[in-house]
């Protein structure tokens, strides 16, 4: 637990801390079938990162205002349908889905797009694709511009909405993040290296959860929770099928200061509850 949490939680309870507004974001659990259970693509964020440094995470990031551009090549459920699924308006839904596809390509090289609504790009390993990834990451190119130049359409049907988590109010950097699941398209390979990570692994969800519980891997509560929920599933397509029944109601931690104790709990996820001394970094 970050040592700065207790002081900010006390300040929040006393009305002395103004929480920053969360930025809208999207993250994608990229799955590939491997033996009796699928594997998830995980990035270990560099220790120099301002948010979740050293933690394992899925590809993802904040919405770019240009993700809401009206003329994005699109196939699959339209933004209006995604708006109902994500619990927001069509413009925001389009931006979130675009962010999911864009960030997945930037961070993993996997592109959920194709020439039409019935196909998907089979290989993104060439130098031209790498230049496009770099241009997207540098914000020199928008997703809409990239798709138009390549004569591609975004395949929103390749995504399944899984969860929505909002960073607690006591955090200095906050995100309102929609989690999606997607299967690795046939023929594509995820990158072995990426700019924001110092390690990349494919790992079964149950194995990853065990790594966290044993203290070998660090993850934020939403990441390990999503992996725990995916652990019983036997294929990537099973995860996509299960996503249709998932609630996307936002989950956010609640805090309580009681004398010299602080409690942080996530409603509906009581196993994540933290209880620690109000004046220290504390523990479980």
28 domain residue, yes or no:
yes
- Which is nearest to 2 in space by CA: 165, 163, 254, 173? 173
Q: Which residues of 214-247 are buried (b: 16+ CB within 10 A; e: fewer)?
A: eeebbbebbbbbbbbbbeebeebebbbebbeebe
What band does 283 get if pLDDT is binned at 50, 70 and 90? very low
Structural domain includes residue 1: no
pLDDT one-digit tens code per residue, 122-151: 989 889 999 999 999 999 999 999 999 999
CA atoms within 13 A on the CB side of 181: 28
Q: Which of 197, 73, 177, 178 is nearest to 137 (CA)?
A: 197
Domain span at 115: 21-248
8 touches 264 (CB < 8 A): no
Looking at the structure of the chain, the number of domains it has is 1
Looking at the whole model, is its pTM more than 0.85?
Answer: yes
Mean pLDDT of 185-200: 85
Q: What percent of the chain has pLDDT over 90?
A: 77
In a domain, 185, yes or no: yes
94 found inside a domain: yes
For the record, the structure tokens of 264 come out as 């942080």
Residue 73 has pLDDT above 80, yes or no: yes
Quick check: is 59 in a domain? yes
What is the rounded average pLDDT of the residues 226-255?
97
Work out the average pLDDT over 65-92. Answer: 94
What's the token pair of residue 13?
A: 């309870």
Whether 248 contacts 163, CB under 8 Å: yes
Q: Burial, 78: exposed, middle or buried (Cβ in 10 Å; 0-12, 13-18, 19+)? A: middle
Residues 175 and 23 sit within 8 Å (Cβ to Cβ): yes
Q: What is the CATH number of the domain that holds 87?
A: 3.90.79.10
In a domain, 258, yes or no: no
Identify the sign of the CA torsion 247, 44, 55, 103.
negative
Distance CA 60, CA 222 (A): 13
- pLDDT range class, residue 278, cuts 50, 70, 90: confident
Q: Is the pLDDT assigned to residue 48 strictly greater than 80?
A: no
Residue 276 lies in a domain: no
User: Which residue would you say has higher pLDDT here, 50 or 152?
Assistant: 152
Report whether pLDDT(187) > 80. Answer: yes
Of 45-54, 58-67, 160-169, 214-223, which range is least confident?
45-54
Give the residue from 222, 262, 270 showing the smallest Cα distance to 7.
262
- Has residue 204 got a pLDDT over 80? yes
User: Sorting pLDDT into bands at 50, 70 and 90, what band is 282?
Assistant: very low
Q: How confident is the model at residue 1 (pLDDT cuts 50, 70, 90)?
A: low
pLDDT band at 190 (very low <50, low <70, confident <90, very high): very high
How far, in whole angstroms, is CA 210 from its chain's centroid?
20
Mean of per-residue pLDDT scores for the chain: 92
Cβ atoms of 160 and 181 closer than 8 Å: yes
Cβ(196)–Cβ(138) under 8 Å?
no
Is pLDDT at 223 greater than 50 in this prediction?
Answer: yes
User: Which percentage of the chain shows pLDDT scores above 70?
Assistant: 95
Whether 63 has a pLDDT exceeding 70, the answer reads: yes
pLDDT score at 49: 59
Q: Read off the pLDDT of residues 81-102 as tens digits, 9 standing for 90 and up.
A: 999 999 999 999 999 999 999 9
**pLDDT: which is higher, 283 or 261:** 261
pLDDT of residue 47: 62
> How far from chain centre, in Å, is Cα 173?
15
Q: Indicate whether 11 belongs to any domain.
A: no
**What pLDDT is recorded for position 76?**
97
């Amino acid at each position: 637990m970050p040592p700065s949490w207790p002081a900010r939680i006390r300040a929040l309870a006393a009305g002395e801390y103004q929480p920053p507004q969360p930025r809208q974001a999207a993250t994608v659990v990229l799955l590939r079938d491997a033996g009796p259970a699928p594997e998830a693509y995980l990035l270990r964020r560099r220790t120099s990162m301002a948010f979740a440094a050293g933690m394992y995470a899925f590809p993802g990031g904040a919405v770019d205002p240009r993700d809401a551009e009206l003329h994005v090549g699109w196939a699959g459920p339209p933004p209006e349908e995604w708006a109902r699924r994500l619990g927001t308006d069509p413009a925001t839904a389009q931006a979130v889905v675009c962010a999911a596809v864009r960030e997945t390509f930037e961070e993993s090289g996997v592109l959920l797009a194709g020439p039409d609504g019935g196909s998907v790009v089979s290989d993104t390993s060439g130098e031209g694709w790498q230049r496009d990834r770099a241009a997207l990451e540098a914000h020199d190119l928008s997703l809409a511009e990239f798709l138009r130049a390549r004569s591609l359409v975004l395949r929103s049907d390749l995504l399944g909405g899984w969860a929505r988590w909002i960073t607690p109010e006591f955090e200095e950097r906050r995100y309102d993040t929609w989690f999606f699941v997607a299967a690795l398209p046939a023929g594509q390979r995820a990158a072995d290296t990426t700019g924001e990570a110092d390690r990349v692994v494919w790992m079964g969800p149950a194995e990853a959860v065990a790594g966290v519980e044993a203290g070998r891997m660090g993850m934020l509560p939403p990441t390990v929770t999503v992996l725990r929920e995916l652990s019983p599933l036997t294929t990537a397509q099973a995860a996509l099928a299960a996503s249709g029944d998932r609630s996307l109601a936002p989950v956010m931690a609640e805090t309580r200061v009681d004398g010299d104790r602080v409690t942080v709990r996530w409603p509906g996820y009581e196993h994540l509850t933290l209880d620690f001394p109000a004046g220290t970094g504390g523990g479980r």
